[in-house]
């Protein structure tokens, strides 16, 4: 699942490559395109965006927001929520399409912007009103800009295990399963510690780990991804999806709880305090 670091770099690339271009054509490919493309304007996605200029690309949490202006509609937004497997790809016409390519935007620059999604869980919303996009307006602050004091206050409103709380977009926007593991490892906090059992010092360590982990990851993704925005470079991660490998800090084999993409990885030596059995 692309999270804040990957999407921040995708945004940077798109700001360089597509802002100022016009959508010359839009193709929604059956059968999956009709499922992922949600036209909240009821004009038809292809009809509404054809001829529109891409004025800006921004990231908000795990959403990408394209601001469009067309001769017939001056305030359109294309909001991409990639969820588990959604990706954007920049390609040239004639380049072989990746499997499960669902929407293709042909741009005036000669490039194509393609939306690819193996599980068709993500969505592209075309709307005039961002409040209509599910989960968008409920997002909390960006984790790299929130202050420690505000983080402490917001955290008090949540109960339960700290990993699950970190991935709540209402607390802070953009942290998912992978980077929650990385942040908690950096902070030396067990993922299943209860929020109300964290000390003041631990909350400060968590805040600092959140800031440094995400900023470091952005830099590493930027270096490894380049212009290939459909890639998700994560070899640099310390614990997530590293089950059984030695902890980079102490050498203890990384533990695993869960299965498939919904796994939790942590170090039982560096992150003590849990009694849950794992592998």
DSSP-derived secondary structure letter, 97: P
Written out in words, the top-level CATH class of the domain with range 148-266 is mainly alpha
Q: How far is CA 93 from CA 22, 87, 110, in A?
A: 15, 18, 7
Task: Say what the pLDDT of residue 277 is.
Answer: 42
Q: Radius of gyration over alpha carbons of the chain, in Å?
A: 20
Secondary structure percentages of the chain, helix, strand, coil, to 5: 30, 25, 45
Per-residue pLDDT of the chain (279 residues; tens, 9 = 90+): 899 999 999 999 999 999 999 999 999 999 889 999 999 999 999 999 999 999 999 999 999 999 999 887 778 999 999 999 999 999 999 999 999 999 999 999 999 999 999 999 999 999 999 999 999 999 999 999 999 999 999 999 999 999 999 999 999 999 999 999 999 999 999 999 999 999 999 999 999 999 999 999 999 999 999 999 999 999 999 999 999 999 999 999 999 998 656 899 999 999 998 654 433
> What pLDDT is attached to residue 279?
37
pLDDT tens digits along 146-173: 999 999 999 999 999 999 999 999 999 9
Burial class of residue 184 in the structure, from the number of CB atoms within 10 Å of its CB (0-12 exposed, 13-18 middle, 19+ buried): buried
The pLDDT tens digits of the residues spanning 251-261 come to: 999 999 986 56
Q: What is the pLDDT of residues 227-242, one digit of tens each?
A: 999 999 999 999 999 9
Residue 198: predicted pLDDT = 96
Residue 261: predicted pLDDT: 60
Long-range contacts of 14-19 (CB under 8 A, 24+ apart): 14/57, 14/64, 14/88, 14/113, 14/229, 15/56, 15/57, 17/90, 17/109, 17/111, 17/227, 18/54, 18/57, 18/90, 18/107, 18/109, 18/111, 18/113, 19/54, 19/55, 19/56, 19/57
C-beta separation of 89 from 37 below 8 A: no
The boundaries of every CATH 1.10.8.50 domain in the chain are 148-266
* Nearest-angstrom CA–CA distance, 250 and 16: 41
3-state SS class at 244: coil
- pTM > 0.85: yes or no: yes
CATH topology of domain 4-132: N-terminal domain of MutM-like DNA repair proteins (3.20.190)
The residues of the chain that CATH labels 3.20.190.10 are: 4-132
Query: Catalytic positions, please?
Result: 2-3, 62, 262
């Amino acid at each position: 699942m692309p999270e804040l670091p990957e999407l921040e770099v995708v945004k940077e690339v798109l700001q360089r490559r597509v802002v100022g271009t016009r959508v010359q054509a839009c193709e929604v490919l059956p059968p999956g395109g009709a499922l992922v493309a949600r036209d909240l304007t009821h004009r038809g996605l292809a009809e509404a965006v054809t001829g529109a200029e891409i004025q800006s690309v921004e990231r908000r949490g795990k959403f990408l927001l394209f601001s469009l202006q067309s001769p017939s509609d001056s305030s359109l937004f294309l909001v991409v929520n990639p969820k588990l497997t959604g990706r954007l790809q920049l390609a040239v016409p004639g380049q072989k399409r990746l499997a499960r390519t669902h929407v293709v935007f042909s741009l005036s620059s000669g490039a194509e912007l393609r939306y690819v999604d193996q599980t068709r869980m993500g969505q592209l919303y075309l709307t005039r009103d961002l409040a209509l996009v599910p989960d968008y307006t409920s997002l909390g602050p960006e984790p790299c800009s929130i202050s420690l004091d505000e983080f402490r206050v917001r955290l008090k409103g949540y109960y339960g295990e700290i990993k699950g709380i970190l991935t709540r977009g209402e607390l802070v926007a953009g942290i998912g399963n992978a980077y929650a593991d990385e942040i908690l490892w950096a902070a030396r906090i067990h993922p299943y510690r209860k929020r109300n059992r964290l000390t003041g010092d631990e909350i400060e360590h968590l805040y600092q780990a959140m800031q440094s982990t995400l900023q470091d990851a952005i830099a590493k993704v930027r270096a490894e991804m380049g212009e290939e925005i459909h890639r998700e470079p994560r070899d640099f991660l310390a614990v997530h999806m590293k089950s059984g490998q030695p902890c980079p800090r102490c050498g203890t084999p990384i533990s695993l709880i869960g299965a498939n993409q919904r796994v939790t990885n942590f170090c039982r030596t560096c992150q003590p305090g849990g009694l849950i059995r794992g592998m």
